[in-house]
Structure 1
């Protein structure tokens, strides 16, 4: 690697690191100023608060990593352009493609970091971040009930509940069905179901069990009955951030299990899975766009390049969020929702790069 490559690569990585070190403390300060009242009110231990902000750092660094990188590329490339260093490089016989090579090397290093972060480290941080938020920051908020939960627990068992309150661990109109092959063996009804934490059982009110044997129906009724079922409380209260807390291979297994259960949240889970690959790719795309728009010395200086870069970043985030929500809440294909912004901005990167070479 030549002196030019080392020079640009060091500036690339150093500016990116400085961008993280600048914005993450600002984010922590703003978040702490907003939530310090609830933290003190709910008496969150200092150790848990410290772990929360460590998780907060990893969680948002993973979420905003491409944007931080994009702004840092525009920042230091604009400085190179304003100092006429890029003109000197290109005038010495270096082609624009050759000038771009250290940027691609730097993008590869950051993309590998993003891949490891998204697949293995960010899920751990997301678990701690969300658990602290729901334990201390949303403790006194009214939690909405889940409604019309229908789940396939395994190959033979299905459950249904018309509504379930996570706060009270209490549901209404519970049904449990057990099949063997295509034959219904028994069915359990209850007006109410409540989770008992002491022994991890469920208390059923107005319990009715219908067993089907040899063409006969046996009916069993009790006013109240405690039972242990082969499903978890989370099956009645689907957690929205469940996919975010799982590593890549755990998430693959989780999605397959949820598909067998007929979960309505498959779109949300697949968006999380696909973004683990799309974010590293977006790093290359945004790096090329950043170099293309900031490698030209402009009359307005770095301010014009930064304004243009921030506008592109906002549009990218807008498309990413809009398509993500569409995939989560409709039948819009998750693979299209995740990769379409990269495709559109990839085309923009090629166009801007061709103009920059001229």
Structure 2
């Protein structure tokens, strides 16, 4: 049963967080629109598409930055409580510091649960719309797909490689397909150029050659041009760089399982996206505890000092999150450690600050 204290703090927790979102989202939209308005006008984008894009933009960045918004909102209203000597009154009435913290944890649980559902199922749709619009109108000349040195395993036995694939013309160069039986290669197909035909979903190979590897000698077959069918699609040749962001929780797990079986070189990138969907909502708890510990003490400089400390801590958290996420995507560094390490470090900081605040 919630007490008057619980309801009072919980109301301020959720109310201030909602108010901060409502204040910052229009600012973010205005700044982003001012930056992109020239390209929108240049491309004569229909107003309906712009409105849908701004809607997707709002969801996309609210999902990424909600821990920071939550952190600042807790510092803001808790600092006001401290400046009005309300925190002292609560604690002087016999309420322990951990009991005082309870409504904050309840509020963090509500926000965390909502953010978890949001990031698992709603944000992926917004991410797809946001990225597709950006590459269509803002990044003309750039592709949203990996086009160079595409190498992937398409099933248990076949591996394909293309040195470069032009998405617009659907033409690739230096194509090879290697077929294995166990650990032994049985044949290899090579072509100077491969072209995907939309009309019938076939491929045309130019300067085609197929080498069948035998026990004592090889059989080589060459042909200037060959129309054929393969068991892979153009998506296998040119994966979309942000594909993991556009999949909901169930789809993402199935997709990663499939990509691992195929030996995809982008597994770390996909794993980072999956782990962040869990780590960011959990950070709501950690940042809430830090915010309370920092702002529940009445300081000589007032709310300004608490906000300055809070913003500094928030920026360091974002820095850690971005640095380790990029490190995992670009190297063999563990995606699990990369996404959870900021929570681990700031969790220790939360415990330290909480003990000091309690004293």
Is the shorter-chain TM-score for this pair beyond 0.5, marking a shared fold?
Answer: yes
**Per-residue deviation at 1:218?**
4.6
Q: Give the structure 1 partner of residue 283 of structure 2.
A: 282
SS at match of 1:263: coil
Q: Give the structure 2 partner of residue 69 of structure 1.
A: 70
Comparing 147-156 and 299-308, the one that deviates more: 147-156
CA contact (8 A) 2:145 2:239 kept: no
CA contact (8 A) 2:128 2:246 kept: yes
Q: Give the structure 1 partner of residue 240 of structure 2.
A: 239
Q: How has the CA–CA distance of structure 1 residues 168 and 182 changed in structure 2, closer, same or farther, with 3 Å as cutoff?
A: same
**Per-residue deviation at 1:330?**
1.2
Q: Give the structure 2 partner of residue 170 of structure 1.
A: 171
Equivalent runs, 1:24-173 vs 2, <5 Å = 24-141=25-142, 146-173=147-174
Please give the alpha-carbon distance, in whole angstroms, between the structure 1 residues aligned to 2:118 and 2:144. Answer: 31
CA contact (8 A) 2:135 2:142 kept: no
CA contact (8 A) 1:271 1:334 kept: yes
**Per-residue deviation at 1:214?**
8.6
SS at match of 2:242: coil
Please give the alpha-carbon distance, in whole angstroms, between the structure 1 residues aligned to 2:322 and 2:144. Answer: 24
Alignment TM-score, normalising by the size of structure 1? 0.94
**Per-residue deviation at 1:117?**
1.1
Q: Give the structure 1 partner of residue 292 of structure 2.
A: 291
Q: How has the CA–CA distance of structure 1 residues 198 and 38 changed in structure 2, closer, same or farther, with 3 Å as cutoff?
A: farther
Alignment TM-score, normalising by the size of structure 2? 0.94
List 4+ stretches of structure 1 deviating above 6 A: 142-145, 213-216
User: Does 1:304 find its partner at 2:286?
Assistant: no
Q: Give the structure 2 partner of residue 340 of structure 1.
A: 341
Q: How has the CA–CA distance of structure 1 residues 143 and 96 changed in structure 2, closer, same or farther, with 3 Å as cutoff?
A: closer
Q: Give the structure 1 partner of residue 328 of structure 2.
A: 327
Q: Give the structure 2 partner of residue 204 of structure 1.
A: 205
Please give the alpha-carbon distance, in whole angstroms, between the structure 1 residues aligned to 2:117 and 2:88. Answer: 37
**Per-residue deviation at 1:317?**
0.6
CA contact (8 A) 2:244 2:273 kept: yes
**Per-residue deviation at 1:183?**
5.2
Q: Per-residue CA shift, 1:92-111, capped at 9, x if unaligned? A: 11111111100000000000
Q: How has the CA–CA distance of structure 1 residues 182 and 141 changed in structure 2, closer, same or farther, with 3 Å as cutoff?
A: closer
Comparing 132-141 and 7-16, the one that deviates more: 132-141
CA contact (8 A) 1:143 1:166 kept: no
Please give the alpha-carbon distance, in whole angstroms, between the structure 2 residues aligned to 1:302 and 1:159. Answer: 60
Q: How has the CA–CA distance of structure 1 residues 145 and 312 changed in structure 2, closer, same or farther, with 3 Å as cutoff?
A: closer
Q: How many pairs are equivalent?
A: 358
Please give the alpha-carbon distance, in whole angstroms, between the structure 2 residues aligned to 1:87 and 1:144. Answer: 57
Please give the alpha-carbon distance, in whole angstroms, between the structure 2 residues aligned to 1:194 and 1:292. Answer: 61
Please give the alpha-carbon distance, in whole angstroms, between the structure 2 residues aligned to 1:263 and 1:251. Answer: 14
**Per-residue deviation at 1:262?**
1.8
User: Does 1:225 find its partner at 2:226?
Assistant: yes
Comparing 165-174 and 82-91, the one that deviates more: 165-174
Segments of structure 2 that go 5 or more residues without pairing to the other structure are none
Please give the alpha-carbon distance, in whole angstroms, between the structure 1 residues aligned to 2:169 and 2:290. Answer: 51
Q: Give the structure 1 partner of residue 22 of structure 2.
A: 21
Comparing 230-239 and 327-336, the one that deviates more: 230-239
SS at match of 1:128: helix
Comparing 225-234 and 177-186, the one that deviates more: 177-186
**Per-residue deviation at 1:211?**
4.2
Comparing 86-95 and 186-195, the one that deviates more: 186-195
Q: How has the CA–CA distance of structure 1 residues 179 and 137 changed in structure 2, closer, same or farther, with 3 Å as cutoff?
A: same
Segments of structure 1 that go 5 or more residues without pairing to the other structure are none
Q: Per-residue CA shift, 1:54-78, capped at 9, x if unaligned? A: 1111111110010000000000101
